[in-house]
Amino acid sequence: MIRRSSIVIALLLSLGSAPAWAHVGEQGPISTVTQQLGTREVTIRFELPPFAPGAVRLTISSDAAMPWTLRASAVPSGLSAPPAPMTQRQLRPAEVVTIDLPVDQAGRWELLLDDGSAAARVPFVIAALQLAPGDAQLAGALIALLLTLLLGMVVAALGRTPGEWLARGQVAALTAVVIIGAQQWAQRSAAPPPAGGRPHAVMTLHTAPAALLAGQPTQLQLAFIDGATGLMADDIEVHHEAYVHLVILDDAEQSFSHIHPARTAPGRYQVAWTPPAPGDYTVYAEIVRHGGGASVLSRRLTVVGAARPRTPPPMLPLSSATPAGVQIALTAAPLDLGRPTVITVQARDAAGTPAAIRTWLGMAGHLVVRSADRQIYAHVHAMPSTDADGTVRFVYQFPGPGEYQLHAQLALDGGVTTISGTLAMPEGADAPQP
């Protein structure tokens, strides 16, 4: 009897180790999303409840320079408007607010955010407790076995002889457990791993207004379309805390923008942008589709307006000061073709003390590299460092000789700052490359 009970307990415990089914869009109970909402970049930290009903806890911060009004609501995916009035908060610059929004069912949801003019819809998933196929039958067989064993124990404790029916019931239940358990095991062992990857995506870019004028605010409207089916690609995942990292560079390398469009509908994103000067621009969108790697899609824009004198980006090494008086130096070494180059950004305050560098978009720093002929585009992340020395380091192996524009970004106490410069990689004998 003890041996039989042990088998039952072991089998019951094995039920708990069944792998959970994956949910599309599920990013774990805690995740962070950064998006541009109107004129400000808003960072939303999600804490999802383990089950519904429950509440989604949002911790929202922004880089707003002015007070603003935030409205938020959670709606089941598919509904265009919230069933109840949205939660409204008045936020001061740099204020961090926590909002709890109720969710009453498992499944796909959307967080509706707006500031009175701009709006965003951020999808999230409340996980459902799902049994794998056959789990219910296995649980039923285990319960039947447990009950017949307990009944046998009770009959024995009462000093009576168990009837043949009980023994047959125990054998039947045990057989059922073995059969269903073996079937489950065989099915899971034979099941192929979930297929990964996605077809390529196509990006369309429209602007409103259609004609771009230097200095005039415009809305960039992006749509991502599955390259094989033509359906909207609504499986873009958050990577480095944003759905889309949009980098806009002009051909003259006079301007640099790294912004994060807000998701407005499945596969559709929008962000405000003001072209600083006339000229031709390239818009690079970095995305990661569910189950796929990162990819960069680009589109060209032309901006008209009155031409003005333009200064080429300074050559490295260079240094510049932020409005807050922090001195930032940008250097790179060694400049040997075919070998990794370390690009160093050093931030010091007026007293020469290392400035505090905060994590931004999950990294200590971001570096965009583009070759002068626009053939090479790279987004490099800072090497992890625990040193509080006001320094971030990037490593990149320049693929060929020539000039490259570098745009390094890091978050200081006063906000995100960008330092740009030009690096000249000399001709040289190629070293053996990995």
Q: Which is nearer to another protein, 138 or 248 (CB)?
A: 138
Q: With CB under 8 A as the contact rule, which of the stretches 151-159, 220-228, 299-307, 364-372 interacts with another protein?
A: 220-228
Using a 10 angstrom Cβ sphere, with 0-12 exposed, 13-18 middle and 19 or more buried, the burial of residue 23 is: middle
Nearer to another protein, 124 or 256 (CB): 124
Q: Phi and psi of 142, rounded to 5°?
A: -65, -40
Rule CB under 8 A: is residue 102 a binding residue for another protein? no
Residue in this structure with the two tokens 């250097």, named with its chain if needed:
331
Of 10, 17, 28, 80, which one interacts with another protein (CB under 8 A)?
A: 80
> Which of 9, 94, 147, 171 touches another protein (CB under 8 A)?
171
Least Å from the CB of residue 55 to another protein = 21
Q: Which is nearer to another protein, 164 or 427 (CB)?
A: 164
Residue 141 is a binding residue for another protein (CB under 8 A): yes
| 180 near another protein, judged by CB under 8 A | yes
Q: Which residues are registered as beta bridge partners of 34?
A: 43
Positions 383 through 412 that interact with another protein (CB under 8 A): none
Angle at 380 between CA 376 and CA 381, to 5 degrees: 175
What is the closest distance, in whole angstroms, from the C-beta atom of residue 268 to another protein in the complex? 15
- The answer to whether residue 179 forms part of the interface with another protein (CB under 8 A) is yes
Q: Are strands 279-288 and 201-208 parallel, antiparallel or unpaired?
A: unpaired
> Do residues 409 and 360 lie in contact, with contact meaning Cβ atoms separated by under 8 Å?
yes
Which of 116, 227, 293, 325 is in the footprint of another protein by CB under 8 A? Answer: 227
Nearer to another protein, 187 or 385 (CB): 187
Among the residue ranges 36-44, 96-104, 166-174, 278-286, the one whose residues contact another protein (CB under 8 A): 166-174
Of 98, 110, 107, 102, nearest to 53 by C-alpha is 102
Which CB sits closer to another protein, 168 or 358?
168
Can the peptide bond before residue 209 be classed as cis, meaning omega within 30 degrees of 0? yes
Q: Is 117 in the site for another protein (CB under 8 A)?
A: no
Residues 186-205 touching another protein, rule: CB under 8 A, are 187, 191-192, 194-199
Q: How many CB atoms lie within 10 A of CB 236?
A: 24
Residues 265-324 that bind another protein (CB under 8 A): 290-291
Based on the shown chain and the rule CB under 8 A, indicate whether residue 81 belongs to the binding site for another protein: yes
R_g over Cα of the chain: 29
Helix (H), strand (E) at residue 166: helix 164-190
**Contact flag: residue 76 with another protein (CB under 8 A):** yes
Q: Which stretch binds another protein (CB under 8 A): 52-60, 84-92, 229-237, 335-343?
A: 229-237
Q: How far apart are CA 209 and CA 204, in angstroms?
A: 15
Residue with tokens 């600083």: 276
Q: Are 3 and 9 in contact (CB under 8 A)?
A: no
Residue closer to another protein by CB (options 103, 141) is: 141
Question: What is the rounded distance in angstroms from the CA atom of residue 341 to the CA atom of residue 400?
Answer: 12
Beta carbon of residue 257, minimum distance to another protein (angstroms, whole number): 31
Contact indicator for 419, 408 with CB cutoff of 8 Å: yes
| CA 434/CA 431 separation, integer angstroms | 10
Summarize as ranges the residues that interact with another protein (CB under 8 A).
21, 23-24, 76, 78-81, 133-134, 137, 141, 164, 168, 171-172, 175-176, 179-180, 183-184, 187, 191-192, 194-199, 226-231, 235, 290-291
